[in-house]
């Protein structure tokens, strides 16, 4: 179903409608009557004949006409009955305001389950329960507690917290920010953010979608839908509940480094959803997207009447990676021809403290004409000669003449710029009191331009993989009642997916070890194979750099004797024999499965530093080539891989291919709970990389 | 001189006073007349008999009474004459508004120099030139362009940017933020921020000092004075011009990692000055400091009527390291006795959406009584039953009864909380529209409490140092026309300061090398000594792990032959011979000299990763023990040094002592321009550390 019934119902019934001020059903009815809704409103209340001037019905079944949408605000224990009636009546959609469901404990959860069953039975969709309703300023409808409707506008706002939603609406009313629709998600028993994003994506009046979310249950669906919608309009999210306190204890490096917050951020990045760090940012970004064109190529130009604030803006641009425009020679000459000689023609363009409205007009116009400029920040501080209001008027005029590049303004101060600031906002020019906000907003707009510019990329599949071989390895481990694979098993499994690993043999006797060593070539490494010994080095279970059969023999026996001495009860599967590898850059590639979003891949600097330096980046499978590029480039280790201090670059291509193969591997085998390749040794360009130590943990079932 | 004459002059002359609106001298005179100043005002203008109702004089020399303070607003080329007259008149202090001095180029700079000379000759102090004057609401005086005076209050504000200063004043007027004094620094030809900080530190009415600075010239004096003042009142700084674009090219790792921004931040930290990232933060912090007591021990309690925003606050607390209070059992019981059963008694304390003023009152009061609570954030979202204004009134009442813990409020929304929010601010309770601001403010207050709690610590001097030996090494390098010391020279120099280095010999022949090797013990490292070879490893100038005299002989000759082949013109001082060191944790200790603040020490993870991972921290010499503790603890490498995954801890004590010795070393020898010890190898606890590779660069003179 398209959710049009919710945003634009032809008729509405209010169950629990009331004549007593203070009751929820009173406010809902009053708001609907007053909001200018043109469809039919049916108050439902068995105890009244008439409510707020409208004929009242005992039940929806007593209404003879069709009812599109029903809003319910009666105690939870009576909800199931009326919902059943709604179903029989053929109602299309419900909004349940009533609390007392899942959020209230076990009994409420059972009630909620029954509720959803009834809705499914009759094909009704449900918003809530335990929600604060819906507002749509286009239709219009106001099925919420908000006493005043916000101004009409291009923002669609979906909030998981009712209280936060109300507070933000209230703020939007004060700031005269235009809202098209507001949705309170409540318990998300049926409809969730994914469906509302999709619906708002289709509503033309919505120019930008804002989300306040505390949780996402259908992670992969969220990514799929959001990815599609962001190509049409920006989605900006503020995520509550990011504390790492809840981060899971995990057995792998990747698992230990991945908090749920990282999974969310990675998912938002994958979907092209913009991340806001505060409610204020959410709306600063939204206003700019609604009111301004997107910046194209080039950089930001800053026109200012004061040096100090100009420096602040320049600093912030550098900090946030916002490129400053280099003005063309022509622009500089034109500026020079009319501006006072003391003016600074670089960028920031300082038109001096005595700049009046005409000088701002001239500089802004010339700057907007320059092809290297993709956006302009106009900065004004109130000085003796400053004409705040006159300048604001000129900016609005120029905006009309030149609508194709964003203009943001920062009118610093309060008292003397108040009127001008309001005038600008009324005329759809974002105006901030401090420079930080303008720069952060431009930075976000650039980010969205980048997202729009991305080509849709298909995930490529490698065909040179041997799925059956991996299945057998996993089955054998299951038979052996092990969910952590032995190192040589794990190596064999990834090798079946085209990942380069050392040739590993497992010897049970020293004679066998020597035979393998002769076959593999010296120098040799021996390593004990046992599911019960975690820190193999500590008990002397690893010996490196053995150069002769004799050394292999001696070390083999020494390892066995140490192990039987220190860990007499450990299960011993033998000793791994492999040729010692030349050194290279040690990286880590890992995977941890996120409950909401599925397999989360990690890449970064490997070895013992991984947990301390945390130089890692993340991506959700399936990874595209572009995403792998980004993952690798987002680490500091990338600098190392590119080659520093005259060292040759590492084989980044081979590394990236390995990450892509891991992505396919863990998608093909959902029974892999987590895995680490640490280290994966990356050699010089053209010489590949090799997964030295592979750890795979399977799910427990 | 105490700067009292500036803040509280008995009489004022205005040179350039005028009757023409639009002229600076008009505004200054008008503002002084209207601000309520009780002393004498003498307009000076040879062309008028009377100005704005006051008798006007041709020159200060024509005024018969004494003049404390003269403000000058006439063109730059006429300033010197009148300043000379002021000197002859015995004026104590000048404020020069006029521009056209150093900021205008070479001629202006000469003019400014002469200006300062005249001031010095007569013992006059000078604010400016090219400044926007002074305001003091306590005296009161208004020698500025600000048309309206800000409200009286506890904030002293010093701004290097006149325009930013004006904008901020203008904003303070709108927001009704109380200001005691405002100073525009201008060109700082004579008086600078250091003197004004000192003066504001002494003025009782000033409760907190705010600074907007673009540069500090007297860095060490700044630290000295600020350190003294912050024990009396907080200093908060916003620094403009933080771009790294200006970071110097440098020959050492330390130099390369140190931007001027880092030097400033390190200096602020050393002085206990609080760093703000935006103008808004500057004032949010300031208001809280002026209006609220400081938090003591314990944690923050959050009282909220909504879950979602409560989560946002908890997240932010965790992110900023603000501890949340764990409420006592008694408090929880008392809360439980009266709050609805669905209320959450953890922290955040969720008193539910239907909380009216009395429930807020009860919860806030109980929470403030709990000894484990050091501050409370009251969060309100406007819901159906919410009494914003009633709640605000209760909060103000409780504040009066319980004045000893900070209460910050976040009233989210706009429209319905506007009145309440204004009421709170009028009654000195900080009220924010979004939760972020409250948490950042609490975090800053906690930081200041910590600063106040620090004990004054003397820098200890090591006496077991051999200054003369270092002098000789440096002199020999100078004689040899080298400003980069050879590695063995550098090692010897730091050894003279009690820093552990390997025993190094420089051999000129293979026989000598073998002799040294036998004496030092095997395995041996050979390394070419030449000021002309930077990347010694690349040309095969380093050979490790030589196990016999024969290996030493062969390698010695191979090195010599490779060097003469690849770099035939390099000056060769011989080959360094030293015993190979066991491996340990590789760290870096370095120093780079900052123009403003002097020797800046760096500590962090060493080796080839240093430039990539940038896991480093900084401190300004001389370092106290506390500062070294902080430096070491501030790096991620600290986790490594403490011992991870069952590994034994490293000798952190020995490392810290080395850093303290380096601090003394570089203070004793100002001719050291930069130095790196990379790596310094740190061994297991009790086994010390050793400076393996020491690089010292002397100044060029």
Q: pLDDT digits over B276-324, tens only?
A: 988 888 888 998 999 999 999 999 999 999 887 888 888 889 888 999 9
Helix (H) or strand (E) holding B518: helix B510-520
SS3 track for B145-205: CCCCCCCEEEEEEEECCHHHHHHHHHHHHHHCCCEEEEEECCCCCCCCHHHHHHHHHHCCC
**Rounded-to-integer distance, Cα A164 and Cα A145, Å:** 13
Q: What is the pLDDT of residue B248?
A: 34
At B416 the pLDDT is 82
Q: Does B309 touch chain A (CB under 8 A)?
A: yes
Beta-sheet strand order (sheet of A407-411): A349-350, A299-304, A373-380, A407-411, A431-432
Task: Return the CATH number at B485.
Answer: 3.30.1490.20
Q: Is B278 on the interface with A (CB under 8 A)?
A: yes
Contact assessment for residue A198 and residue A229, using Cβ atoms and an 8 Å cutoff: yes
- Give the residue from B426, B453, B480 where a domain finishes: B453
Using the Cβ of A321 and the Cβ atoms of chain B, whether some distance falls under 8 Å is answered with no
Share of chain A above pLDDT 70, in %: 96
Residues A324 and A422 in one domain: yes
- Which of B175, B245, B306 is opposite residue A163, by nearest beta carbon? B306
Tokens of B97: 């508004």
Q: Is the pLDDT of residue A572 over 60?
A: yes
Q: Which two tokens stand for residue B90?
A: 């015995």
- CATH at A197: 3.40.50.720
Q: Give the SS3 label for residue A26.
A: helix
Q: What percent of chain A has pLDDT over 90?
A: 69
Based on the fold, state whether residues A519 and A620 are members of the same structural domain: no
Would residue B249 count as lying in a domain?
Answer: no
Same domain, A427 and A548: no
Distance from CA of B605 to the nearest CA of A (A): 10
Q: How confident is the model at residue A252 (pLDDT cuts 50, 70, 90)?
A: low
The whole-chain average pLDDT of chain A stands at: 90
The DSSP code sequence of B92-145 is -EEEE----SGGG-HHHHHHHHHHHHHHHHHT-EEE-SS--EEEETTTTEEEES
Among residues 483-522 of chain B, which lie with CB inside 8 Å of chain A? none
Assess whether B534 and B605 both reside in one domain: no
Q: Which of B539, B558, B579 is the last residue of a domain?
A: B579
A539-557 pLDDT, tens digit each:
788 888 898 999 999 999 9
Pair A319, A379 in one domain: yes
Is residue B243 domain-resident? no
Please give the pLDDT value at position B245: 36
* pLDDT recorded at residue B259: 56
pLDDT at B532: 85
The CATH number assigned to the domain holding A637 equals: 3.30.470.20
Cβ <8 Å between B644 and A434:
no
Q: N- to C-terminal Cα distance for chain A?
A: 38
Q: What are phi and psi of B311, to 5 degrees?
A: -65, -45
CB A379, CB A310: distance < 8 Å: yes
Q: Are residues A71 and A179 in the same domain?
A: yes
Is residue A281 in a domain? no
Residue B670 has a pLDDT of 94
Q: Domain for residue B461, yes or no? A: no
**A533-537, B241-245, B366-370, B685-689: the lowest-pLDDT one:** B241-245
Nearest to B171 among A172, A414, A614 (CB): A414
Domain interval for residue B564: 467-579
Give the C-alpha distances (Å, rounded to integers) separating A149 from A142, A260, B254.
7, 36, 59
Nearest to B416 among A170, A306, A611 (CB): A170
How many CB pairs lie under 8 A apart between chains A and B? 216
Can you give the pLDDT at residue B250?
40
Q: Which residue of A has its CA nearest to B174?
A: A415
- B512 and B644 share a domain? no
Q: What is the mean pLDDT of residues A370-376?
A: 96
Quick check: helix, strand or coil at residue A478?
helix
Confidence of residue A342 (pLDDT cuts 50, 70, 90): confident
The answer to whether residue B154 sits within a structural domain is yes
Residue in B521, B249, B516 with CA at minimum distance from that of residue B529: B516
Mean of the pLDDT values across residues A385-402? 94
Q: Does B172 touch chain A (CB under 8 A)?
A: yes
Q: Distances in Å between the alpha carbon of B509 and those of A386, B506, B539, B572? A: 79, 9, 19, 12
What confidence tier does B667 reach under pLDDT thresholds 50, 70, 90? very high
Q: 3-class DSSP state for residue B431?
A: strand
Residues A31 and A157 reside in one and the same domain = yes
State the average pLDDT over residues B362-372: 96
Q: Using CA coordinates, name the residue in chain B closest to A24.
A: B384
Spatial distance between the Cα atoms of B233 and B206, rounded to a whole number of angstroms = 8
* Integer-rounded Cα radius of gyration of chain A: 32
Q: For residue B412, give how far its alpha carbon lies from the nearest alpha carbon of chain A (Å).
A: 5
Of A169, A242, A318, the CB nearest to B243: A318
Measure the CA–CA gap between A689 and A499, rounded to whole angstroms.
9
The tens digit of pLDDT for each residue in B255-264 reads 555 557 788 9
Q: Is the pTM of this model over 0.90?
A: no
End of a domain among A453, A478, A495? A453
Which tokens is A403 given?
A: 């609508």
Residue B672 falls inside a structural domain: yes
Q: Has residue A246 got a pLDDT over 60?
A: no
Mean pLDDT (chain B) is 91
Residues from chain A that touch B212, judged by Cβ atoms under 8 A, are 308
Domain identity same for B572 and B589: no
Q: List, for residues A511-549, the tens digit of each pLDDT value.
A: 999 999 999 999 999 999 988 887 777 778 888 889 899
Q: What is the pLDDT of residue A255?
A: 55
Average pLDDT for A622-636: 94
Inter-chain residue contact A161 with B308, CB threshold 8 Å: yes
Residue B136 has what pLDDT? Answer: 95
User: Residue A259: pLDDT band by 50, 70, 90 thresholds?
Assistant: low
Q: How far is B565 from chain A (nearest CA, A)?
A: 20
Strand partners, A575: A507, A528
- B389 with B505, same domain: the answer is no
Note whether B652 and B632 are within 8 A (CB).
Answer: yes
- Distance CA(B200)–CA(B182), nearest Å, equals 10
* Nearest of A23, A20, A22, A35 to residue A12 by alpha carbon: A35
Residues B520 and B668 in one domain: no
B449 backbone φψ class: left, alpha, beta (φ>0; ψ -120 to 50): alpha
CB of A408 within 8 A of CB of B191? no
* Structural domains of chain B, count: 4
For B142-183, the pLDDT digits (tens) are 998 777 889 999 999 999 988 888 888 888 888 888 999 999
How does pLDDT run across A420-457, given as a tens digit for each residue? Answer: 999 998 899 999 988 888 999 999 999 999 999 988 88
Complex ipTM over 0.85: no
Long-range contacts, stretch B335-340, CB < 8 angstroms, 24+ apart: B335/B363, B335/B366, B338/B362, B339/B363
Q: Does B21 touch chain A (CB under 8 A)?
A: no
pLDDT tens, B473-523?
Answer: 999 999 988 899 999 999 999 999 999 999 999 999 999 999 999 999 999
Whether A393 and A357 have beta carbons less than 8 Å apart is answered as yes
The answer to whether residues B52 and B184 belong to one domain is yes
Q: Does residue B570 surpass a pLDDT of 90? A: no
Q: How far is CA B96 from the centre of its chain?
A: 29
d(CA B667, CA B685): 28
**Where residue A382 sits, what CATH number does that domain have?**
3.40.50.261
In a domain, A260, yes or no: no
- Please name the residues in contact with B652: beta carbons below 8 A apart, sequence gap of 6 or more: B632, B641, B642, B682, B685
- Confirm whether A268 is domain-assigned: no
Question: 10 Å Cβ neighbour count for B544?
Answer: 12
């Amino acid at each position: 179903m398209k959710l049009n019934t919710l945003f634009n119902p032809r008729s509405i019934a209010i169950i629990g409608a009331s004549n007593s001020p203070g009751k929820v059903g009173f406010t809902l009815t009053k708001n609907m009557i007053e909001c200018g809704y043109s469809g039919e409103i049916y108050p439902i209340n068995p105890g009244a004949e008439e409510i707020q001037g409208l004929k009242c019905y005992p039940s929806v079944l007593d209404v003879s006409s069709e009812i599109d949408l029903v809003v319910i605000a009666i105690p939870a224990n009576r909800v199931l009955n009326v919902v059943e009636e709604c179903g029989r009546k053929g109602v299309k959609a419900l909004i349940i305001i009533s609390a007392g469901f899942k959020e209230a404990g076990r009994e409420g959860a059972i009630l909620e389950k029954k509720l959803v069953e009834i809705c499914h039975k009759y094909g009704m969709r449900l918003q809530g329960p335990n929600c604060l309703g819906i507002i749509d300023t286009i239709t219009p409808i106001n099925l919420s507690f908000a006493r005043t409707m916000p101004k009409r506008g291009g923002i669609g706002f979906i909030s998981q917290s009712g209280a936060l939603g109300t507070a933000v609406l209230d703020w939007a009313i004060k700031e005269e920010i235009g809202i098209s629709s507001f949705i309170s998600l409540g318990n998300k028993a049926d409809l969730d953010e994914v469906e509302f994003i999709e619906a708002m994506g289709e509503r033309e009046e919505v120019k930008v979608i804002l989300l306040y979310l505390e949780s996402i249950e259908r992670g992969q669906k969220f990514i799929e839908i959001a990815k599609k919608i962001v190509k049409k309009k920006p989605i900006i999210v503020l995520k509550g509940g990011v504390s790492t306190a809840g981060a899971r204890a995990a057995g792998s490096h990747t698992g230990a480094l991945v908090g749920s917050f990282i999974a969310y951020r990675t998912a938002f990045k994958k979907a092209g959803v913009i991340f806001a760090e505060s409610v204020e940012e959410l709306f600063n970004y939204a206003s700019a997207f609604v009111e301004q064109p997107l910046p194209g190529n080039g950089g930001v130009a800053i026109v200012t009447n004061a040096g100090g604030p100009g420096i602040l803006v320049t600093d912030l641009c550098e900090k946030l990676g916002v490129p400053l425009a280099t003005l063309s020679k022509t622009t500089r000459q034109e500026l020079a021809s009319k501006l006072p000689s003391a003016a600074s023609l670089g960028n920031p363009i300082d038109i001096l403290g005595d700049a009046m409205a005409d000088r701002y007009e001239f500089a802004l116009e010339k700057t907007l004409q320059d092809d290297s400029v993709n956006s302009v920040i106009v900065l004004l501080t109130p000085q003796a000669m400053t004409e705040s209001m006159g300048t604001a008027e000129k900016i609005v005029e120029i905006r009309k003449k030149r609508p194709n590049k964003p203009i943001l303004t920062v009118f610093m101060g309060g008292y003397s710029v108040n009127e001008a600031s309001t005038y600008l906002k009324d005329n759809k020019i974002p105006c901030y009191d401090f420079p930080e906000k303008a720069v952060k907003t431009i930075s976000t707009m650039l980010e969205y331009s980048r997202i729009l510019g991305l080509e849709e990329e298909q995930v490529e599949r490698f065909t040179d993989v041997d799925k059956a071989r991996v299945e057998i390895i996993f089955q054998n481990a299951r038979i052996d009642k092990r969910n952590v694979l032995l190192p040589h098993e794990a190596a064999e499994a990834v090798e079946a997916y085209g990942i380069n690993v050392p040739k590993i043999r497992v010897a049970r006797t020293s004679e066998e070890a020597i035979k393998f060593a002769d076959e593999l070539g010296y120098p040799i490494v021996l390593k004990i194979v046992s599911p019960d010994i975690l820190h193999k080095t500590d008990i002397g279970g690893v010996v490196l750099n053995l150069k002769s059969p004799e050394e292999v023999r001696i070390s083999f026996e020494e390892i066995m004797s140490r192990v039987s001495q220190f860990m007499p009860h450990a299960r011993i599967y033998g000793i791994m024999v492999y040729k010692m590898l030349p050194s290279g850059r040690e990286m880590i590639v890992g995977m941890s499965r996120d409950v909401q979003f599925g397999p989360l891949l990690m890449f970064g600097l490997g070895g013992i530093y991984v947990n301390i330096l945390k130089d890692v980046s993340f991506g959700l499978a399936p990874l595209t080539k572009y995403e792998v590029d980004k993952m690798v480039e987002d680490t500091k280790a990338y600098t190392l891989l590119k080659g520093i201090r005259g060292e040759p670059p590492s084989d980044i291509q081979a590394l990236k291919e390995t990450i892509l193969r891991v992505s396919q591997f863990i998608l093909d085998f959902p029974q892999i709970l987590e895995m680490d390749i640490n280290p994966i040794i990356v050699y010089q360009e053209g010489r590949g990389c090799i997964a030295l130590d592979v750890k795979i943990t399977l799910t427990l079932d």
